[in-house]
Structure 1
Amino acid sequence: MAWDEWDQLKASAADKGSAQMQLNGIPEEDRPNSGNPAGGDLRVDQQDLAAIGDEAFKLYNRLWKEARVTSTDTTATDLTGQGFALGAALQHVSMRWDKQLGSVMDACALISNHMDFTKNAHAGDEVFIARHVSSIQTLDAGFDEAWAAPGKPNGIYGEKPKKDGE
């Protein structure tokens, strides 16, 4: 930003009657999800996590069954044994394929396992929270014994002492 442009912006702000200047910020109404925390678009539930993990597991199994090419190694060995330079090149391609395939399969396994772990961790959190809330509810129930009708003083504590003048 040029110095002249800065001066123009300051003068424009002063003309509008604004005595303050705001830098590095945008108005509330222009912020995404402002004022409505439930309005965000990032939500995940157990079914979403399970579906992602399941798809990653299916992909891993398909890669294991369909993407491994063992016949290429045999062909490369045969071609090399017959004196063809293509054999060594084919062996190189096969080794690179196996390495890349292993990386993709590892990623699928990691995703699948992580989704299972996340699902189980959140389920454990739910159980933990439910236990604590239910124990508070049980404790509260112990204090809610009906010693007196609603709105009436509890006779177990005796009568309230009267003040001078009553």
Structure 2
Amino acid sequence: MSWDEWEQLKADAAAGGSAPMQLNQAPSENGSWAESASGDMKSDKKAWVKAGDSVTGLRTGVGKALVKLADGQTGLGDTSGCRSAVAQKQLYDSWKKYVGDVSDRCAALGGLLQKVGHDLSKSDQEVKADIEKLEVTYKDTEAVGGRTGGR
């Protein structure tokens, strides 16, 4: 698509005014979204709670992975004097933190979804702000060891 075509599409859209959007409904039989819209947003509390329960439930699998990760370190012993053992320990520590953070993130996000399902009293902006807080709290960890550039 050329720049001129893009500009024309934007101008046409601006001239037509804003069209209502509804994502929870298919078009009516005549194919018009606007005519099929009821004007009211519908939400199913059970779906929110189920989503929250499912996300929180992911902690079980993550916890098992954390146990297997720890079991894999059994017998490593003293890492001094062996660079590969030091690198292994750094990698383990990094993944242990990461997997623990994933578990905590599942708990926090699952709890948030459950809460939204129970009361649905927060505005979209408040829910978005809560999710953004989670994204800041549970940023991915920095890379440990290895090469940071190309080969």
TM-score for both structures, normalised by structure 1: 0.47
TM-superposition CA deviations, 1:44-96 (whole Å, max 9, x none)? 312211221111121112211333422344444x1515x32221111111111
Structure 2 residue ranges without an equivalent (≥5): 23-32, 122-151
Q: Indicate if the aligned counterparts of 2:47 and 2:117 stay in contact, CA closer than 8 A.
A: no
Structure-to-structure mapping, 1:76-95, within 5 angstroms? 76=76, 78=77, 80=79, 83-95=81-93
Task: Please state which structure has a larger fraction of its residues in helix.
Answer: 1
2:63 maps to 64
Could you tell me how far apart the structure 1 residues matched to 2:62 and 2:13 are?
52
Could you tell me how far apart the structure 2 residues matched to 1:80 and 1:71 are?
17
Structure 1 residue 113, shift from structure 2 partner = 0.5
**Higher relative contact order, structure no. (Cα contacts within 8 Å, ≥ 6 residues apart):** 2
Structure 1 residue 23, shift from structure 2 partner = 6.1
Q: Indicate if the aligned counterparts of 1:57 and 1:108 stay in contact, CA closer than 8 A.
A: yes
TM-score for both structures, normalised by structure 2: 0.51
Over aligned residues, Cα RMSD in angstroms?
3.7
Sort the Cα spacing of 1:75 and 1:30 in 2 relative to 1 into closer, same or farther, 3 A. same
Could you tell me how far apart the structure 1 residues matched to 2:21 and 2:118 are?
34
Structure-to-structure mapping, 1:1-166, within 5 angstroms? 1=4, 24-26=14-16, 33-38=33-38, 43-68=42-67, 69-76=69-76, 78=77, 80=79, 83-122=81-120
Report which of the two structures shows the higher radius of gyration computed on alpha carbons: 1
Look up the equivalent residue of 1:70 and give its one-letter code. A
